[in-house]
Chain A
Amino acid sequence: MKKDFPIFKRKINGKNLVYLDSGATSQKPAIVINAEKEFYENHNANINRGIHTLGDEATRMYEDTRKKVAKFINSNFKEVIFTRNATESINLVARSFLKPILKENDLILLTEMEHHANLIPWQIIAKESKAKIEYVPIDEEGLLDLDKAKKLLSKKPKIFAFTHVSNVLGTINPVKELIKIAHSYNVPVLIDGAQSVPHFKTDVKELDCDFLVFSAHKMLGPTGVGILFGKKELLEKMEVFMGGGDMIKEAYYNGFIPDEIPNKFEAGTPNIAGVVAFGKAIEYLENLEMKNVEKNDKELINYALKKLSKIKNIEIYGPKDSKLRSSLIAFNCYTNDNVLIHPHDLATILDENGIAIRAGHHCCMPLHEKLNLTATSRISFYVYTTKEDIDVFIKCLEEVNKIFNKEIEVISK
């Protein structure tokens, strides 16, 4: 499959690229890259305005992706809004859905494992409205405390926003169960699907979530395209987000009438070529079939966990049961005298061998503080990742161990 992805022809420091940072962004297949080029070469025009041929083609191609996304997550196409990224999608819901109804002392419910993207937008509006935020705690393995979640939901927060898959722990949360409980208290739910939608079949009807956000660039698509799914009746009632062209039905010097959904939330010229190319990414995934994407992920995670557990002085974070994990593993290595081999140092040595991993706090500073960690290293997989990639990585990890366990007694102190 690597042959579909031009980047794998690239050498890094003279070595074949082993890309284990798909959780940050996935690589792109040639059909996606070419679709963007093809759009600019043959169809480029603005959408929703041109009566001319190109304008019509561009509009159809843009809307075609909306239909593909809708089918991919089993929603109505009017419920699919294009944004810049998952972060913007969350900001949109915070600003247009929650802010207008949020009052002093109201509660917003999140969890302790949220990415900054699902943390800061809520903190901003909570501060403005003097509302409170509470967090569903996690246990040592990185699993949500469901009893505590139930208790907190019974306090009827104005929204429960949480991630389907943790980008640090890899935990797959029991989303369907949590949504059911939330709805029994009439609490609307936003799911951060940035790490889940790319990796397994996500059906918004089956989940019954009120909002779902994800990013095209983590699922073979271009950067600069995010998706917000929202239930039609909620999107229709919501306030507008950004103002400008494309989002209005009628405009006057003394006011405006917003357009219907989805246009209501898509002010200004969007990333048309990016959205068109994203349509090709979805096609690619549908040809693979999501059940196979998930199967490949599971095989890799089991393989990597088995291999990693044999490394000396390693600490692996997240659930022990691999069934509860998705396609990433965060870990730390220590020297024989129990000094942390800092993820930055680890990543530097791996990079020299052509291996790309993530090192740092992965946009989850509060979670790292909770786990009492400065930083972690993270490997993450996608459709092009192979067991051979993991073998190369493991071999290099052993080399890092050697470097950091060099005899240093000889040095005068």
Chain B
Amino acid sequence: MKMSEEMYTEIILDYYKNPKNFGNLDNPEIKFKDLNPSCGDVVEIQVKLEKNKVHDVKFNGKGCAISLASAELLTEHLKGKNIDEIKNLNKEEILELLGINLSEIRLKCALLPLKVFKVGLYNYLGEKDEGQNY
């Protein structure tokens, strides 16, 4: 099978075209935005917390199918989770969620939402994320 057929699965395309978590939240505790300067993709993630748990989460921005599908999958994954559970979320888990093979260049697209979320989370906690190299 061709790489593009593997990469652009129906699920990825559905997430890209019909994201459920695209939008904004009122007064989110965590709000962070970043862009990929080489391509101009922009992702913002907003998180509403309740008792250290992710009560609701939305994302917005502009980007390719891979970065926006990744944002949709990530936000879905975060819902209802305790902060401690998601503090160490890593690259491998995101790639597992996406379930596709990616070239080195496209990895940046896939990992932009994770980077945005984690920088936002650590800013909120006032801690430094030691483990990650995005």
Contacts and interface: CB of A to CB of B under 8 A. Distances in A.
A348 B4 contact: yes
A408 B17 contact: yes
Contacts of B18: 413
A403 interface: yes
A345 B17 contact: no
Contact of A344 (B4, B5, B64): B64
Nearest to A411: B14
B40 interface: yes
A404 B41 CA distance: 19
A404 B8 contact: yes
B7 A406 contact: no
A377 to B, nearest CB: 11
A348 B42 CA distance: 19
Interface residues of A, number: 24
Contacts of A361: 39-40
B89 interface: no
A285 interface: no
B39 A360 contact: yes
A223 B29 CA distance: 48
A349 B39 contact: no
B109 interface: yes
A370 B83 CA distance: 40
Interface in A89-146: none
B4 A352 contact: yes
A344 B66 contact: yes
Interface string B25-59: 00000000000001111100000000000000000
Interface stretch (A79-87, A187-195, A199-207, A334-342): A334-342
A411 B11 contact: yes
A35 to B, nearest CB: 32
Nearest to A400: B4
B16 to A, nearest CB: 7
A21 to B, nearest CB: 14
A410 interface: yes
A375 interface: yes
A345 B65 contact: yes
28 contacts: A335-B17, A337-B17, A342-B63, A343-B64, A344-B39, A344-B41, A344-B66, A345-B8, A345-B64, A345-B65, A345-B66, A348-B4, A348-B103, A348-B106, A359-B39, A360-B38, A360-B40, A368-B40, A374-B41, A374-B63, A404-B8, A406-B8, A408-B13, A408-B17, A411-B10, A411-B14, A413-B18, A413-B20
Interface of B: 2-5, 7-8, 10-11, 13-14, 16-18, 20, 38-42, 62-66, 103, 106, 109
Interface of A: 335, 337, 339, 342-345, 348-349, 352, 359-361, 365, 368, 374-375, 403-404, 406, 408, 410-411, 413
